Amino acid sequence: MPPPPERPLRISSFRVLIADREVGFASVGHLTSETDSEAPPGRPGNLHAPVVLRRAISTDRVLFDWRRRVVDGKDDRRDVTILQLSAPGGDVVNTWKLMGARPRRWSGPAFDALHDDIAMEEIELTYDDLVWLDERKPPRGV
């Protein structure tokens, strides 16, 4: 008997770790890996589109401070792990790692006295490599 078909996975349940710290986000942009058509023959270059992470802003300055370190000339690369869950609080079904990520852009909230929306911040990350891990469990320390 063939195995049952896999059911589609949802995009609403995920966790994000920056280095070993879990940081809550409302959204994570597309994970993209491309081949550089301009690379020398026999040496295809990998290109990775920046990833934008969005979250409600609070008094926690971890994202702004990370960007500030880069602006100040520090080489502060961190691995960022994205864990896709089967459901809210469910099992990890996929794990991606942005290797050597660093912030390229930080954006804070826009203000408007006529609206009562949640203030958001964004961090745009560039990274050295994108890895889709085979393991279906979170990394140690999670």
Sequence ranges of the domains in the chain: 14-33+48-133
**Which residues have CB under 8 Å from 71's CB, separation 6+?**
none
141: left (phi over 0), alpha (psi -120 to 50) or beta: left
pLDDT given at position 140: 54
pLDDT given at position 126: 96
- The residues of the chain scoring below 50 in pLDDT are 136
pLDDT given at position 40: 74
Distance CA 47, CA 67 (A): 22
121: left (phi over 0), alpha (psi -120 to 50) or beta: beta
- Tokens encoding 123: 């961090």
The Cα-based distances of 127 to 27, 95, 138 in angstroms read: 18, 16, 21
pLDDT given at position 23: 97
Distance CA 14, CA 109 (A): 23
**What's the pTM?**
0.85
pLDDT given at position 90: 93
CATH number belonging to the domain at 14-33+48-133, selected among 3.10.20.30, 2.30.110.20, 3.40.50.920, 3.40.50.1980: 2.30.110.20
Distance CA 123, CA 67 (A): 8
